[in-house]
Structure 1
């Protein structure tokens, strides 16, 4: 399905000819937030104009109750998916549960017809269970990377992406990334100018810089089972700006350079240079968020050899620049 960039006049004329049908599949145990995102983006209330025909489809038999007691009465059934131009699976209740066979078959048939299939957050698991992500790139929440990869090794997972489109299937990362993904789908059918109006009404950015990397927790060892390595790590943290050499460090713990390198990796699971860079980047994060120090001052405090190297390392880790990180996460006084 190709993207279309239409002027408002052309768009209105074409919309009257065919308004795309969006079917949102709902299940028992749904999250109200995940349901509300496609409702706001594709519903008519946001801009008081019907750019899409939106309906909810019951993905299974029985009551459709949310995790906090809200109930949806989805009158449409899975057989109505034949009329859908876009099918959205906005969530899934658990990664351990395979969806029902009727739903899986309906999604497969829709994909064969050329229907655009979208899985938001855990909804991507439903698409993966249906085999729609085999051999394709996909996104999911960064915390689920290991689980998703183990369950669906045929899928090429991009854990930094906020959303990914591949072969008529779109998947997104967790929670708020569903907004980014739905706005992206909107832009596929109408102009960016109209999609940007939706974003402004929602008070969200039309595009977000960077990907999930800026939100991923980067755990590094605090202590290990090696007492000498623990003491050394603590000394380094207290003087992180010092220019360390492997020979100096090995001598300080009375080891050869080769022995120190081997023992440090065994204790931490990381090479010393990798561990040190992580410590410095973590400190830089904190300073960007909680102080008004200049980038040059942060470089000095964290021990990076130059502003250029610091920016390169920071963007390589978090997919955004230090300045962008500060604008996003800096504490407001």
Structure 2
């Protein structure tokens, strides 16, 4: 590992000013960045430890929303009784991530900043456009079973060229936050700022080295879950190769409001299919006002997945996500009756 300096942050504004300098990075739970440093994927000259900052509060807002400090441990948020009532999909997503030991250490803000687990990104002997722009993407012709089928540039956004990156975002939490249109509060070099979760995460496009649109040096200070009545009727389901401590092969966060057999409102978000959590807007539009039947659920999933562009070894994700969507919505409909 490359030698580096270590400093404990005394205040958030001074920490942001320091990290804005080239070669510095924040350290919170350390469950991702330390591994990447050991592998030689990242090599900051200076780590700023922010764990002493007062960013751990979980606040139930009077309008029905919640505000969660960025240094809140994943395990603490997952068991919060207000979260489990108001935003059950978020609680389930947190409990689906990693292992209990890692959830005790990992933070909410760090979870959103974790980097892809694509094997070519973490192997410095292989070409990777995310790690080294212009190097190429070894995953295209290599091992890509777990990688993107949506929005990677092998679809309508880059029709004439191969994608530059087919990595997937590994966060379970991010999928549930996309479902409820969460807001991310930041402290930047220019002061406080707020971004929606949809603005925060990005597709690779021509800048695959960028996972997010976070301004340089900015620190996530909190996540706000806006008052969302339908979120009380939400869930999260994850498919993985083993029952714990594994990243998703595919996941679905869903919220559903059915009255008299008709879908009054619905929200869907997919995980492990794209460079960012994938909000299934096309499926939502098709379902609203339709009968809550298996046929409607299948047609909605097919509408969303029509944009999928799977590669040689990950085409299984299309029927996987389709079946997950139908199964989750069917179960929620039956429960509502």
TM tier, smaller: under 0.3
Q: Which has the higher helix share?
A: 1
TM-score (norm. length: structure 1): 0.25
Q: Which has the higher strand share?
A: 2
Ranked by relative contact order (alpha carbons within 8 Å, sequence separation 6 or more), the top structure is 2
